[in-house]
Amino acid sequence: MKIQNSYEQSDYGKLYLVPTPIGNLDDMTFRAVNVLKEVDLIAAEDTRHTKKLLSHFSIHNELISYHEHNRFERIPILLEKLRQGKHIALVSDAGMPAISDPGFELVREAIANDVSVIVLPGANAAVSALVGSGLATESFYFHGFLPRKNRDKLDVLERLKHLQATIIFYESPHRVLDTLQALKQQFGDRNAALARELTKIYEQYIRGTIDEIAQYVKQHPLRGECVIVVEGYSGEAAPADDEWWEELTLEEHVLYYEKEENLSHKEAMKRAAKDRNMSKRDVYQALHVKKTE
Ligand code: SAM
């Protein structure tokens, strides 16, 4: 067990987690500006990006990069500085560090080394989208990004489909339609909201059922960053029973495995046969008879 009295005097420096705006610079807090001015060092996901933010707020401070690819080399260096009494702020490109951004491992190691971790409240896309979605907020589950591969995405959603809490996903605009389709397939046509470009001039909420939102997105391809918020399982609307491949032809089904899972044609036919409860021979014949016609 460890107890942190955040503002107690210590020989060690403190690690500050400082949220930055997710679009609107006015969302930078006074406290965030002050902390970034006062610390000895700012660890930033992308130093060039953060330099622009700092210059906007006339903050002249030393930066060190801390990102996905160098975090394990950086942690001992930052911990050493903290042990020497230096105060360090961690920022990501936008929003709350450590939320779908680098930060968690540094926080964990700081705590393990008895360094106080001070979190400043501030901008975060997930909580803003949740609150604006109009969906229940008394209990919610933040998932962040789903896997990119459709099969993996469906597997994750399968595990989440009976969760009785509002669920929040981060998604890129290029994959939002695929994700909505996967959601409908696994969850059924629940109420949902898509929040886009939060805090920016083109901020938009698309509220409706998953299918209504998908239809809208089909007709109005989206730009900008998105959050998908989905109603939790109510126990009433049963998730769709349809199999994910039901709308595919046999050829498309086999091709899916070849392309998405890099399987050989033979292995792909085997998987499709298993899904469809067909014999491998029937699959082979169906494809080959067609091809020779
Ligand atoms: N740490 C950030 C936070 O606290 O929200 C999240 C960083 S994560 C790498 C980026 C994702 O957050 C985007 O792909 C999008 O899903 C969501 N996001 C960030 N800014 C957003 C905005 N202005 N509007 C909608 N979604 C946003």
User: Pick from 168, 117, 106, 149: which is nearest to 2 by CA?
Assistant: 117
- Ligand 1: atom nearest CA of 92 is 1
Interval 136-172: pLDDT, tens: 999 999 999 999 999 999 999 999 999 999 999 999 9
Q: How far is the CA of 225 from the centre of ligand 1 (A)?
A: 6
Ligand 1 pocket member 23 (CB < 6 A): yes
H/E segment holding residue 288: helix 280-292
With tokens 């083109």, the residue in question is: 202
State in Å: Cα 14 to ligand 1 middle: 26
Q: How far is the CA of 267 from the centre of ligand 1 (A)?
A: 39
How many angstroms separate the CA atoms of 20 and 30, rounded? Answer: 11
The CB of 125 under 6 Å from ligand 1? The reply is yes
What is the per-residue pLDDT across 79-133, written as a single tens digit (0 to 9) for each? 999 999 999 999 999 999 999 999 999 999 999 999 999 999 999 999 999 999 9
Q: Is 197 in the pocket of ligand 1 (CB under 6 A)?
A: yes
Question: Which ranges in 134-229 belong to alpha helices (H)?
Answer: 150-160, 176-187, 210-219
Distances (CA, A) of 250 to 75, 123, 168, 254, 284: 51, 47, 34, 6, 10
pLDDT for the residue 283:
87
Question: Is pLDDT at 48 greater than 70 in this prediction?
Answer: yes
Rounded to the nearest integer, the mean pLDDT of the chain is 94
Structure tokens at 133: 């979605």
Q: Which residues of the chain form CATH 3.40.1010.10?
A: 15-119
Residue pair 271/263 in contact by the 8 Å Cβ criterion? yes
- Average pLDDT (22-35) is 98
Instruction: For a ligand 1 pocket test, name from 67, 226, 228 the mutation site with the most ligand atoms within 8 angstroms of its C-beta.
Output: 226
pLDDT of residue 246: 81
Q: What is the CATH architecture assignment of 125-230?
A: 2-Layer Sandwich (3.30)
Residue 122's pLDDT is 98
Query: What is the tens place of the pLDDT at every residue in 186-210?
Result: 999 999 999 999 999 999 999 999 9
Q: What tens digit of pLDDT does each residue of 238-283 get? A: 445 567 788 888 998 989 888 888 889 999 899 988 888 888 888 8
Indicate if ligand 1 lies below 6 Å from the C-beta of 95: yes
Gyration radius of the chain over CA positions = 24
Q: Which of helix, strand or coil describes residue 251?
A: helix
- State the pLDDT at residue 293: 46
Domain 15-119 has CATH 3.40.710.10: no
Residue bearing tokens 């400082």: 18
- Given a cut of 60, is residue 230 above it in pLDDT? yes
The amino acid at 206: I
Q: What is the pLDDT of residue 259?
A: 86
pLDDT, mean of residues 198-227? 96
Q: Judge if pTM exceeds 0.85.
A: no
Atom of ligand 1 nearest to the CA of 203: 24
Listed in order, the ranges of the chain carrying CATH 3.30.950.10 are 125-230
Cα separation, 56 vs 194, in Å, equals: 30
Residue 199: CB atoms within 10 Å: 16
